[in-house]
Amino acid sequence: MNSETMTGGNHYDVTSWPVGDPAQDIGEVINSILADVKSRQAVAGDGGKPGAVIRIPPGDWRLRTQVRIDISFLRIEGAGHGFSSSSIRFNVPEDDWPDLHELWPGGSRVLVDIPLGPDAEESDGAAFLVERSGSPRISSLEFVDFCIDGLRFEDDGSGLPAANTYVNGKSGIRIVSANDSVRVRGMGFVYLEHALVIHGADALSVHDNFIAECGSCIELSGWGQASKITDNLIGAGPRGHSIHAENHGGLLITANNVFPRGAHSIHLHGVTRSSVTANRLHSFYPGMVVLEGGGSENLIASNHFLRDHEPWTPFLGVDNSRDDEFGLLRIGGRGNSVIGNHFSAAVDGRAVRPAGTRPVIIRLTDGRGNFVAANNVVASDVRPETGDSCFEAQVDALLSTDVAEALAVTTVLVDTGSAGNTILDSGTDLEVVADRAANAIRPTPAVGSAMPR
């Protein structure tokens, strides 16, 4: 049977391809399909190279051979992101497993089972590795509607149970070459040390994915421009980033729901003229959003920041090693605008570090000309409760707004290395700590205080 009959032109199904068994090694099957695409589209001619669609039906498909992609115009699609919390399952006593409705993620699920030796490189553990040199850049790759599951984490000597280390050397998708117009949409990533790593992105779209219980979730490395990270559900581990980007311009980070436990919700290094808007950000530690490396002329607006405490018993005592003076939003750079954000700090005053200090909400560490205006801070001194059920403990914590008293905080702290900033209506005179001679300050009026004439 020839390849045209098997594929229906440029459309392939891994279950009907004659090479390999997708249940035993879907990587071997997809690599064979890619070889067929390249052989049939070897000469561009007037018709160009249209690429192909590879379909992964619902089911469990073990990947023992890395998929290596070096063609453009390729779409790999499944029938559902299949995400299910492996962390909850692994932290349930094993005696309770028979009563669970399911044990593993589902949908069109790729099980990353690549053997890794002690000398393996980071790229060796990627389920899908995209690499091509020369010109033009690799373009128009699409990963749509399937699950990439790293299966298990490993003991790393930290003393944590292996299921909670976020370490296994595995990646979901790793793009190491400059690329244009890549789309990652409707995907599920779970139990991977690195879910999505993309180097040199131009016009990248990471949209409507479920990326959680991974060491780091979205990492844009090297440089990039005009890309967007939108409408995702994201949650990294305590030593990783939920969203990280370096040396990017024109990056749009919008409408993401970022779960707690990531060392940073958003970490930007050398990012300029970009927007972080309308995100819901939740963290158990300071350092939720960090701009450093000279990031300038960025807009951070209309985001909801929630800082509270870990309520789930297996992760008690785990943090990102930042103290409360670090700041929830920390900015080093110039000409950035921080406008109209809401900060909820539900913190046990007895646990503030260093003891006796006030938690810092917004901190400007260096740079000039930053504009901080109309930000609202609600700070509460809470007595958090914990529980063995992840879902119930966290929902109870989110819904609880009963507090004994307000918590004293520093809403804006301007270090001596930063000057020429404008701070308007983002804290009372006592809550804004800055050199009034080096910065323009208009404090929020305190209740009962006289309004300035």
Is the bond into 354 cis (omega within 30 degrees of 0)?
yes
In a domain, 249, yes or no: no
Cα–Cα separations (whole angstroms), residue 398 to 181, 277, 345: 38, 22, 12
Q: What angle do CA 64, 104, 255 make, to 5 degrees?
A: 95
Span 1-17, average pLDDT: 73
How far apart are alpha carbons 182 and 195 in whole angstroms? 16
Span 20-25, average pLDDT: 98
Q: What is the pTM of this model?
A: 0.92
Please report which confidence band the pLDDT of residue 396 belongs to, taking 50, 70 and 90 as the band edges. Answer: low
368-386, pLDDT tens digit by residue?
999 999 999 999 998 877 6
Residue 5: per-residue pLDDT: 39
Do the Cβ atoms of 196 and 188 come closer than 8 Å?
no
Are both 320 and 226 inside the same structural domain?
no
* DSSP β-bridge partners for residue 8: none
Indicate the residue among 177, 202, 235 that finishes a domain.
235
Are both 189 and 265 inside the same structural domain?
no
In a domain, 431, yes or no: yes
319-335, pLDDT tens digit by residue?
778 999 999 999 999 99
In a domain, 250, yes or no: no
Query: What is the enclosing helix (H) or strand (E) of 392?
Result: helix 390-399
Are both 348 and 228 inside the same structural domain?
no
Query: What is the enclosing helix (H) or strand (E) of 361?
Result: strand 360-368
Are both 219 and 269 inside the same structural domain?
no
In a domain, 403, yes or no: yes
Are both 221 and 278 inside the same structural domain?
no
Span 131-143, average pLDDT: 96
Q: What single DSSP character describes residue 84?
A: -
Are both 29 and 68 inside the same structural domain?
yes
The tokens for 85 are 């919390």
Among 195, 173, 184, which Cα is nearest to 228's? 184
77-88, pLDDT tens digit by residue?
999 999 887 877
In a domain, 253, yes or no: no
How far apart are alpha carbons 316 and 297 in whole angstroms? 38
Residue 395: per-residue pLDDT: 55
Are both 177 and 105 inside the same structural domain?
yes
Q: What is the mean pLDDT of the chain?
A: 91
Q: How many domains does the chain have?
A: 2
In a domain, 280, yes or no: yes
- Report the CATH number at residue 334: 2.160.20.10
Cα–Cα separations (whole angstroms), residue 161 to 111, 352, 390, 392: 22, 27, 16, 22
Range of the domain at 311: 260-448
How many other CB atoms sit within 10 Å of the CB of residue 119? 6
154-189, pLDDT tens digit by residue?
999 988 888 889 999 999 999 999 999 999 999 999
Are both 198 and 161 inside the same structural domain?
yes
In a domain, 453, yes or no: no
Query: What is the enclosing helix (H) or strand (E) of 243?
Result: strand 241-246
Are both 205 and 296 inside the same structural domain?
no
Are both 352 and 438 inside the same structural domain?
yes
97 phi, psi to nearest 5 deg? -60, -40
Indicate the residue among 235, 270, 303 that finishes a domain.
235
Are both 221 and 316 inside the same structural domain?
no
Are both 270 and 405 inside the same structural domain?
yes
DSSP three-state, residue 23: helix
How far apart are alpha carbons 354 and 66 in whole angstroms? 47
How far apart are alpha carbons 132 and 254 in whole angstroms? 30
In a domain, 240, yes or no: no
